[in-house]
Amino acid sequence: MTTPEKIEKDTVVTLQYALKLEDGTLVEESSPDNPLVYLHGHGNLIPGLERQLEGLTVGAQKTFVVEPADAYGEYDPEDVDRVNRTDLPPGLEVEVGKMLSVRDESGNQYIARISAVDEKTITLDFNHPMAGKRLVFDITVTGLRAATEEELAHGHAHEPGGHHH
């Protein structure tokens, strides 16, 4: 297998990154001993990030903004629900910011964040925490390699030394 010269579909990419909000708040970042490694072109990253990385080469450094529509979507006020405290399991720790796994009547599971609490109700926000936010990425591409047949079959990069799920 030849080493790819630039980021394109079926390339395993290694990069360092920092993700910030527009106000400069650091959301997350990689570290030299824990870089982001992903298989390009297989939907493993938000679409706006993957598009910005397309065509970059090893050593490339880039700062760019990803709009909400190309990240986690716009914030949808319809995805917020108030529930009675009596509908919650007894002893459930209720505090603003806590994430909960909830099921609907059909048994489908959803993740919600408690966004408000009062004496009788809690407000559950089902929007992704980054919904509606413009995301600022600082990236440095540190490695490229061709994906293995196993990685292509699975649709994601595997860790060095084998396959871990």
Q: Which two tokens stand for residue 94?
A: 């209720």
Above pLDDT 70, what percent of the chain? 96
Q: Which amino acid is at 142?
A: T
Other CB atoms closer than 10 Å to residue 94's CB: what's the count? Answer: 11
The count of domains in the chain is 2
pLDDT digits (tens, 9 = 90+) for 99-122: 998 888 899 999 999 999 999 999
Q: With respect to residue 5, please indicate whether it lies within any of the assigned structural domains.
A: no
Q: In angstroms, rounded to a whole number, what is the distance separating the alpha carbons of residues 165 and 159?
A: 9
pTM of the model: 0.82
**pLDDT value at residue 1:** 65
Domain range for 105 is: 77-125
pLDDT digits (tens, 9 = 90+) for 26-77: 999 999 999 999 999 999 999 999 999 999 999 999 999 999 999 999 999 9
Same domain, 51 and 24: yes
| Residue with the larger pLDDT of the pair 165 and 15 | 15
Phi and psi, residue 81, nearest 5°: -135, 140
Same domain, 68 and 82: no
